[in-house]
Amino acid sequence: MQPSRKDRPSARNEEQLHSIEDRFDTTFVAALASKEKQIQQSYRPVIGIHKWFARRPGTVFRNLLLAEFNGEESLHRDYWRSHQFEGVIADPFMGGGTPIFEANRLGFSVVGADINPMAFWIVRQSLAPLDLVRFRRSAEAVIHDVEQELQDLFNTTCTECGTKATAKYFLWVKTQTCPSCGGENDLFPGYLLAEAVRHPRHVVVCHHCGSLNEFDHQPRKDHPEPCSKCNKDVYIDGPAKKNRVACSSCGQVFSYPAKEPYGPPKHRMWAIEYHCEHCKPGHRGRFFKTPDVDDLRRYRDAEQRFREVAPQLPIPEDAIPEGDETNRLHRWGYRHFRDMFNDRQLLGLGLLLRRISQVGDSSARHALLTVFSDFLRYQNMLGRYDTYALKCQDIFSVHGFPVGLVQCENNLLGIPRVGSGAFRHFLEKYRRAKEYCQHPFETRYKGTRKQIVPIEGERLEAHLVSRFPRAGRREAWINCSSAETVPLPVNSLDGVFTDPPYFDNVQYAELMDFCYVWLRTALADEVSAFQAPTTRTPAELTGNESMGRGLEHFTAGLSSVFQHYAAALKAGAPFVFTFHHNDPQAYVPIVVAILDAGLDCTATLPAPAEMGASLHIARTKSSVLDSIFVCRRITVGPRSMTLREHVDRDLSGLESAGLELSKGDIRCILAGHVARIAINRLWAKWDAAQPLPQRMATANLALTEVSELVDVETLLPERTDETAARKSGEDARSAAI
């Protein structure tokens, strides 16, 4: 490993001002980033601190920073060694913190801002020093005390040996009363509990008697199998389809949810997956059972105990506000955040949060509170059971509040080294994240062999300050505020690196309120960022119908932030950000913001952004690529390459890294270049004093003209045909070998 050296970005020579544009290696970056996005928590364990959405690959921002600030050395060699730069890097939309983390690792002091208090807390906790020994001891004491209070609420009896076992997951199904006869109906979309993948056989519940049956194939309604207990037909086809169900008693078809629900949905426990230490050594597959009388009694005991102690527990009473995402919850009768949990969950969570709040050491307490906030995603009655992977799913797996019909209640504290989503598992995830922060590494492949490369001398940790940070001191000024309100001295920033929101972004604030209302009960008196009743604010830069935020609001806010941060840049310093959309007209706010800030676009570069298999974009036409915009306060001269040459270079670089590009990916790359050309054309004559609607119209016209001039649509079939032909040739060569 080569020794570290200190570079001073503020002292760069004039010929070094365009480093990213010249040194960014699309193939090298794409190869790293595409592998990272498949297993991001292995490449960047720091994201295990807490859930955030749409995190960009850390490998991309490490490459961007090195390309800009590390002279003329090859990124292929430079990437794998330690660096200690001096300077200040800012991120005005820090979200999950990726640019902040990568800059901090490289030695920079950082300025971060986000209007969402959860983003503020996540980045703060990621950078905060933590004594791991003290953290472990505090966690063990918390678990011990809470286990004593919960007693046997997660115990069950093994059906094979009759001894005590531990429940991993309780399966519940929503029920609804027939408006005609008053009968209670299970809303099963299907009766399949487990697929024969991670369990030897398919497990199907009998809708007549409730017993669990195992088959070598999945029985259907037209080819049923007899129940092993009642001998009636068993099949996987459920009665609840397209929000309608036929009453099992009178046959009346009615809709669900009820049009005016009086409260949250009712549920019935119908299955348990458990773990038996005694039987496990000789047992194939998982352990499943139908709840017995003791299992049902234990839940009733939890309900009774909760009613007795509820007034003493720190359980949020907050109402769920109306919103683009939360209105779905209202339709189902969820009116308060506590409605999204059953009584056993509320009892356990309340006891756990109360005990964590009693931890004396503030660093350990804050870390444990962060773990608690994160594991709520798997401790609620909106979590679903994955019949393939046989585990509980994250409530945010599709970046929304999907209300399923079958719910999974997780074991609260969890079984050591068994299952997932419980408090013990999240403690381990947090510990690994902090170990990575203290000893970061990179991952590379030699052929198919993965190699972990320790980067000795780097670390992800900062001195947290409440003022503008000093260069060379590894200080971090993390702000919970609108970025435009952060005071920035003129000529103070060596670069801005960020992943800004886009207009039709996921409603992060609506989703993060789910965690925030719990965390706020413990932090409101200690941390000013947690005093507001919600993470939502009218100043948030996303489109939101329920809050009346339109495209003009978004464009004006983005422009204001860009202007504020561009004014603080040192001469020639880069303003770098990622953007992601297939439609050139969606770039209107970006064009306006860049030009209002007095910047010109020196390059657009492609990089992987999302994973195609992500649940929220799977089977859609969305691109999994970002365009990286590199902007500076300079005038861009004539280009030596045509648009077609730029696009061919980008796509060839991505394909050389092994990426298979869709039409959506190609559209996204084209749209980025169209926006760049429009910015270059408008820069010299841009008038930021014109009314915003006029500036937006000017940007829109320029984007339209460039799109028409280059005839974007004709490039698509040509390129995709070339890609298909090349792929066919590669397959033929592979077959011949």
Backbone φ and ψ for 330, nearest 5 degrees, come out as -60, -40
Q: Mean pLDDT across the stretch 42-63?
A: 95
From the centroid of its chain, how far is CA 460?
A: 20
495-498: strand order across its sheet:
463-464, 475-480, 109-114, 88-91, 495-498, 575-579, 625-632, 600-608
Among positive and negative, which fits the CA dihedral 6, 9, 12, 15? positive
From the centroid of its chain, how far is CA 58?
A: 14
pLDDT, position 362? 98
pLDDT, position 639? 72
User: What does pLDDT average to over the chain?
Assistant: 90
In a domain, 590, yes or no: yes
Question: What percentage of the chain has pLDDT greater than the value 70?
Answer: 90
CA dist 489 and 468 (Å) reads: 8
pLDDT, position 548? 55
In a domain, 266, yes or no: no
For residue 238, is pLDDT > 70?
yes
Reported as type and span, the H/E element at residue 33 is: helix 26-38
Nearest residue to 712 via CA among 659, 682, 672: 672
* pLDDT single digits (tens) 272-325: 999 999 999 999 999 999 999 999 999 999 999 999 999 999 999 999 999 888
CA dist 163 and 148 (Å) reads: 20
In a domain, 382, yes or no: no
CATH (domain of 497): 3.40.50.150
Domain extent for 591: 9-128+431-503+550-736
Beta-bridged to residue 493, according to DSSP, are: 569
pLDDT band at 14 (very low <50, low <70, confident <90, very high): very low
CA dist 617 and 622 (Å) reads: 7
For residue 383, is pLDDT > 60?
yes
In a domain, 372, yes or no: no
In a domain, 262, yes or no: no
* pLDDT single digits (tens) 650-663: 999 999 999 998 88
For residue 556, is pLDDT > 80?
yes
pLDDT, position 728? 46
CA dist 27 and 654 (Å) reads: 6
pLDDT, position 543? 54
Q: How many domains does the chain have?
A: 1
In a domain, 143, yes or no: no
Q: How many residues does the chain have?
A: 737
Coil, strand, or helix at residue 268?
Answer: strand
Among positive and negative, which fits the CA dihedral 374, 378, 381, 382? positive
The tokens of 163 are what? 């001894």
**Contact of 543 with 554, CB cutoff 8 Å:** yes
* pLDDT single digits (tens) 95-138: 999 999 999 999 999 999 999 999 999 999 999 999 999 999 99
pLDDT, position 736? 30
In a domain, 89, yes or no: yes
In a domain, 691, yes or no: yes
